[in-house]
């Protein structure tokens, strides 16, 4: 049986590098979306290997580019994927995963605590939309073949080279969080909170509930 593949969108960022490492550590392959070949080389350097990684060049902010990527997967130009780690490309990838029907597909979204505390306005302002996306996806995909989870990260993670200089958390360590998610089929439609290093390996998760929205005045 061929190994499963994880599509990592934004694979050269701090969190993307961590996701790639986590996927490889579970013996899965990675389809890494990068801007160009220079970015690909940067990814290989941070991860420490080329083995198991297929590169796909695309503009992750372009819906057309992401749809083209999925089309290339369907036609066999790129390897099929069963898992996604991303903060974009939801519309482009969810129909493909549903159509494929793999029974333990996952779609993992990493959000940041900055949206709640208001630090770094540019990044913080985008988090509200991602929180809402996570809520909708958890509800809509609850009874499908896709395990959607939100990783709510309240720590700063950096690629190892940078983390050694700054003292923040290493991407190679945070990779354990994604390994745990991939290996826990009972965790779905949940927010997985990361407030401390121990949370990398001991998942703190809470299922998102919508029943309160239908509460009636009795």
Q: CA-CA distances (angstroms) from residue 209 to 21, 51, 63, 144?
A: 31, 40, 30, 16
pLDDT band at 174, cuts 50/70/90?
A: very high
What are 87-126's pLDDT values in tens digits?
Answer: 999 999 999 999 999 999 999 999 987 766 666 667 777 8
- Whichever domain contains 197, its CATH number is 3.40.50.720
The count of domains in the chain is 1
Task: Supply the range of the domain harboring residue 34.
Answer: 5-214
| pTM for this entry | 0.93
Q: Mean of the per-residue pLDDT values for the chain?
A: 94
Rounded Cα gap, residues 134 and 136, in angstroms: 6
Q: Shortest CA distance to 107 belongs to which of 144, 62, 160, 159?
A: 144
Angle between helices 90-100 and 63-74 (to 10 degrees): 20
- 114 and 124 in contact (C-beta within 8 Å)? yes
- 29 and 4 in contact (C-beta within 8 Å)? yes
- Looking at residue 118, what is its pLDDT? 67
- Looking at residue 127, what is its pLDDT? 84
- Looking at residue 104, what is its pLDDT? 95
């Amino acid at each position: 049986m061929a190994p499963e593949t994880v599509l990592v969108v934004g694979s050269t960022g701090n969190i993307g590098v961590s996701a790639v490492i986590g996927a490889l550590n579970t013996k899965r392959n990675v389809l890494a979306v990068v801007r160009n070949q220079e970015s690909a080389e940067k990814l290989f350097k941070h991860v420490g290997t080329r083995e198991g990684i297929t590169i796909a060049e695309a503009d992750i902010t372009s819906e057309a580019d992401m749809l083209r990527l999925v089309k290339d997967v369907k036609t066999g130009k790129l390897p099929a994927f069963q898992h996604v780690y991303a903060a974009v490309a939801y519309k482009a990838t969810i129909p493909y995963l549903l159509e494929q029907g793999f029974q333990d597909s996952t779609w993992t979204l990493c959000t940041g605590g900055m949206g709640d505390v208001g630090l770094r306005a540019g990044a913080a302002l985008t988090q509200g939309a991602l929180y809402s996306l996570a809520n909708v996806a958890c509800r809509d995909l609850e009874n499908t073949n896709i395990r959607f989870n939100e990783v709510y990260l309240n720590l700063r993670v950096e690629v190892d080279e940078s983390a050694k200089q700054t003292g923040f958390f290493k991407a190679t360590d945070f990779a354990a969080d994604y390994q745990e998610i991939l290996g826990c089929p009972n965790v779905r439609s949940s927010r997985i909170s990361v407030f401390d290093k121990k949370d990398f390996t001991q998942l703190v998760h809470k299922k998102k509930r919508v029943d309160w929205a239908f509460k009636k005045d009795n």
